[in-house]
Amino acid sequence: MNVRAFIPYAVWSLPAGWTVLIFLLLTRKVHRYVPGWLPPWADKPAHMLLFGSLAIFTYVAFRHGSSLKMMRATAFSFLYAASYGAVMEWYQYYIPWRSADWADVIANTVGAAVVFVVYFFDEAFLRTRPA
């Protein structure tokens, strides 16, 4: 059995799992987990980290689990993470114990934009595959 044949499929488990984890984190009650001394903007770095990681994991999956070129993989990864961030904020509007916030949508999008930094690093230093 050739294990290497499964790598293009297995590489998608990380962004898929991370997508589910984000959903679980952003739909549960959090007021008992957040310390009261944190400023109101303190959740923005967490949003950037969650959706930036999602964009990077998706980029890696596109690069190693599909035949997309680097720039398309970058664009699709950004669009997926930013769109998912916007959809999650819209969904939170309908959850009684959560609230939707435009600042969170912006933080999600800024976090997803980190994939462009990864693209330029990949292009300049790693050159894993020709673009």
What pLDDT was estimated at residue 35? Answer: 64
What pLDDT was estimated at residue 67? Answer: 83
* Residues 44-101 pLDDT 10s: 998 999 999 999 999 989 988 888 888 898 999 999 999 999 999 999 999 988 888 8
Q: Which of 64, 62, 43, 42 is nearest to 54 (CA)?
A: 62
Answer whether residue 129 shows pLDDT above 60: no
What pLDDT was estimated at residue 3? Answer: 66
Q: Which residue has the higher pLDDT, 123 or 111?
A: 111
How far apart are alpha carbons 105 and 32 in whole angstroms?
23
Answer whether residue 11 shows pLDDT above 80: yes
What pLDDT was estimated at residue 30? Answer: 67
Answer whether residue 127 shows pLDDT above 80: no
How far apart are alpha carbons 47 and 82 in whole angstroms?
11
What pLDDT was estimated at residue 59? Answer: 92
Mean pLDDT score of the chain = 85
* DSSP annotation string for the chain: --GGGGHHHHTTHHHHHHHHHHHHHHTS--TTTS-TTS-GGGHHHHHHHHHHHHHHHHHHHHHHHS---HHHHHHHHHHHHHHHHHHHHHHHHTSTT----HHHHHHHHHHHTHHHHHHHHIIIII--S--
